[in-house]
Amino acid sequence: MPQLIFFALVGFAAFYGYRSFKKEAQRVSERVREAEKEVQNRAQGTLVQDPETGEYRLRED
């Protein structure tokens, strides 16, 4: 019985690690795609709208 609990914990840890890795890889991939778009468009940065003032400013990473 202890072996079953051990393997269940190892399986859960592996599943959780895989999900975390996949989420981080997606986040990094999105940042790379945005940077490639900026280079392709010769942009100096990405503009985002300030919700309080409505003005557009460069996004701060």
CA triple 61-29-15, angle to 5 deg: 110
Q: Tokens representing 34?
A: 């945005």
pLDDT digits (tens, 9 = 90+) for 11-54: 999 999 999 999 999 999 999 998 898 888 887 778 899 999 99
Would you place residue 60 in the very low, low, confident or very high pLDDT band (cuts 50, 70, 90)?
Answer: confident
Alpha-carbon torsion (27, 32, 33, 37), positive or negative? positive
pTM of the complete model: 0.61
Would you place residue 55 in the very low, low, confident or very high pLDDT band (cuts 50, 70, 90)?
Answer: very high
